[in-house]
Amino acid sequence: MAKNYREKELEYERTGQFDRDLNDEHRTFDARDIGEGYRYLTKTPGEKIRRFFLLPAVKFFGSVYTFFAFGFRVKGKKNLRKIKKIGAISVCNHAHEMDTLLVKLALGCRRTFHTGSYYLLKKGWAGRIFKAGGFLPVGSTVKDLEKLQNTVRELLGKKKIVNFYPEHALWRRYEKVRPFKPGAFRFAVKFNVPVLPLFIEFRQTKPRKVLRLKEKVVVHILPAVYPEEEGTLRAKSDALLQKVRAAMIEKYESLYRRPMVFDCGEKVHGGSSVCGERDVSGAADADSDAETKGEAAVTV
């Protein structure tokens, strides 16, 4: 399976399909309904009690598990402290199957909420636990996106952090920074909050190599990037996207000590530059009309 994923990854990189899932089969039949009556936040007494007990357990057991399993570390916590009194949007490269847990541990279990595709929210106890942990499903209709937008506005007003994966698709242990979808940055501009970039690094060490363990996982918290004051929503969103992605590419190049070059001969999927060049324009393929049409402009 891992070999098959690697082959797909190389193929998608060559053809510029950076937002395509390596696993094309999604289980949507057992997804929880997020229609008219669904509440994004924990409101009932039972939901609040579940969240109250779940988050300390996630922090304790998650910290122990990720340390021994991945050698997990966090760097750049001073950048998080600088925004402790305001709400923020965070973005992270989608490169680890446990990255939501890693981001939550890095930024704070109670403060951080996470967006994700609606079909990840399952029926039954799995869905209840996901919701208690702060999962915000992204639907595909206008009403779904309106409800998500209102929820994000409420959370940012309470000085919470809402995390997005702007690359959209999970590519396990992929090191480069793929093109971004614009949704997270539009939220940041619309609600006038900074974007906090996170970069997941995979670092091999001598002890782990001797023990034949995979590279350790380090989450780097980069300085927050603020929206520009002047311009249209789209112009400010695009500028913010480019600044954030440029900062993450710079972190990639400084950590891995090599330029970030894609191995493909076609144009970046949804972008404006040719693969093989250093592209910071992002995947601005969903324009402002998507917000009114109900398309997935808030792709994670």
Q: Block means of pLDDT (10 residues each) for the chain, length 300 residues?
A: 78 90 83 87 94 97 96 97 97 96 97 94 92 93 91 97 96 95 96 98 88 91 96 96 97 95 60 48 37 40
Helix (H, G, I), strand (E, B) or coil at 255: helix
**Rounded Cα–Cα distance for residues 98 and 94 (Å):** 10
Residue labelled with tokens 């598990």: 65
14 φψ region: left (φ > 0), alpha (ψ -120 to 50), beta (else): alpha
Q: What is the pLDDT of residue 289?
A: 38
Q: What is the pLDDT of residue 2?
A: 63
Query: How many Cβ atoms from other residues are within 10 Å of residue 68's Cβ?
Result: 9
